[in-house]
Amino acid sequence: MLRNKINSRALTLGSWITLGHPAIAEIMARAGFDWLVVDLEHSVISIDVAGDLIRTIDLCGVAPLVRLTSNDPNQIKRVMDAGAHGIVVPMVNTPADAAKAVAATRYAPQGSRGVGLARAQGYGANFQEYLKWQSAGPVVIVQIEHKDAIDQLEKILTVAGVDGFIIGPYDLSCSMGIPGQFENPEFIAAMIVISSSN
């Protein structure tokens, strides 16, 4: 399970998919990656195409993750029901944002996700197995991409169920008023703060 590897700090290798063709997903999944992210935020991939990509990646034995368009519980529920093993959540600026994302991947009482019988649950046949998995299995990666998140970084990263983070350098630099200026001392100082929290 990917979450166990992440939490044990085992090295994992992954990549990003922004083109919505199942053959691309299959080629990538057979290239030796541990995980692949289907990007809904900055692509034209629709939810039905995302379902096809998730299925293809999963059937190749690789963990499919989905980067969301936003921290939307309804979208989280849909990609998780389609069989995603986890989510990458953009613009997480507070511990409450992080907790909301984690809760949306899990059923009550651990979370707030509605229960459906789709591919993830074997269309009902594997519900009990999935019920056990969803309480601790979903991977949640938060994106740190706003200056407000830096002030609360430690609290964000210690939210139960958050497994890691990705820096969004362009959004972060824009929020600091220095768009794309990655050599700017202010941006470098922010990177030092973030790296010291890892």
pLDDT tens-place string over residues 181-196: 999 999 999 999 888 8
pTM: 0.95
Q: Of 21, 42, 85, 146, which one is the catalytic site residue?
A: 42
- Please give the domain boundaries of the chain with CATH numbers for all domains: 2-167 (3.20.20.60)
Helix 47-59 to helix 73-81 angle (10° resolution) is 40
The one-letter amino acid at 163? D
Residues with Cβ within 8 Å of residue 47, at least 6 apart in sequence: 40, 75, 78, 79
Closest CA to 39 of 59, 66, 64: 66
Predicted confidence at residue 108, as pLDDT, reads: 97
Long-range contacts of the stretch 13-17 (C-beta < 8 A, 24+): 14/65, 16/67, 17/45, 17/53
- Contact at 8 Å (CB) between 77 and 116? yes
pLDDT digits (tens, 9 = 90+) for 99-118: 999 999 999 999 999 999 99
Say whether pLDDT at 51 is over 80: yes
* 157 vs 164: CA distance, rounded Å: 7
- 146 flagged as catalytic: no
